[in-house]
Structure 1
Amino acid sequence: EVRLCGFLLLVEEMKAALPKRNGTGQPDRRKEIADFYLLHAIQANNWDLVDLSCSYIIGTFLLHPLPDGTMPDRNILDTLSASSNLWEQRISIVSTAALIREGQFGDTLRIAKKLLHHPHDLIHKATGWMLREVGKRNIEVLRGFLSEHHETMPRTTLRYAIEKMEPEERRMWMTNTPHSKKQQILFIKEQR
């Protein structure tokens, strides 16, 4: 598809603009690519166009300095999550995959919390996916998030988030009884 090719070319352009050893790369070009992507993000109107492009463009952009040396404002993720466009909302959470790979989880958790009660299944899946990625790198961070939100989050999000856990722990998180809170506290203490 032509649009997919265009987005993948932008991904390659972003890679080429990244800092090389002992250099800053091309911060002007990175900003230009990110701005262009955001301007045309509405054209990424299915999950594969979003998932194959946004973390490598927006996520990568957020990790590197702007031309003036300051870091990009990560509130762009909040703006995207508040959009009325489903695909921009998905971009907001999936873009955080680049941040997760760098051990930066705060933005993912913040955006996930904003999207927890979204009505669409594609957002539930993407949010759960990013939470699972956080858990692969720091299970305690994921458990902390789940402790606060597991009872009210969509079941699809929860299932995706806990997919890599041991069966016993998955069952524990899927149980919504008062008894399960006591089990969770004991289970988490045992894991530490």
Structure 2
Amino acid sequence: MLFTKKNDVDFLELLIKAAENTLEAANVFRQAMNDTKPPSETFQAVKDLETKGDELTRTIFNGLNKVFITPLEREDILELASSLDDVLDGIEASLARFDYLSVTITDTYMKGFAEVIVDSCQLILDAFKVLSKKKYLQLTQFTEQISNLENEGDRLMREGIREIFTHRKDPYEDFKLKEIYERLEQTTDSCKDVANILHGVVLRYS
């Protein structure tokens, strides 16, 4: 657990560590989408990072129950940690689908989603570093970029599902692809949720 000189939990540093862990998972996912081996072979690596993320989130939650003075409103810290955890859960859940749906290949849409998620996670990490310096107005540039990336995620899902229904193949295989696209889009939504909370911080503290 991280502490300040006053023996308080360093929530902002914990959020940065959680964002770094989530970005690492996103990079592993992107590698899986671009590798020649089945994506499911990297599932355990992401699962381990997801477990580490849960531990960081739990440390933040426990700290909020013990510390009286926090650098932000308790609800802001709680929501940031929870929403970031949703991003990591989404990455893990997306990769899990390759495993239990027995999907062994990737496509252009999956690779596009991977780029969107990595870029979004990088922006979240950069935003948390700015947040730790209390440069609230600078957060806006990150929240806007994450929102734009979420729009790209929406486009990828629409185009992917359109491709399924315009070039129908085996219905079971089509279902698998649709399931993966939709879960990946939900993960980009979770990234935007983090951005929305950061936007609220801007309005509250700037």
- TM-score interval (norm. to shorter): 0.3 to 0.5
- Structure scoring higher RCO (CA < 8 A, sep ≥ 6) equals 2
User: Under a length normalisation based on structure 2, what TM-score does the superposition of the two structures give?
Assistant: 0.31
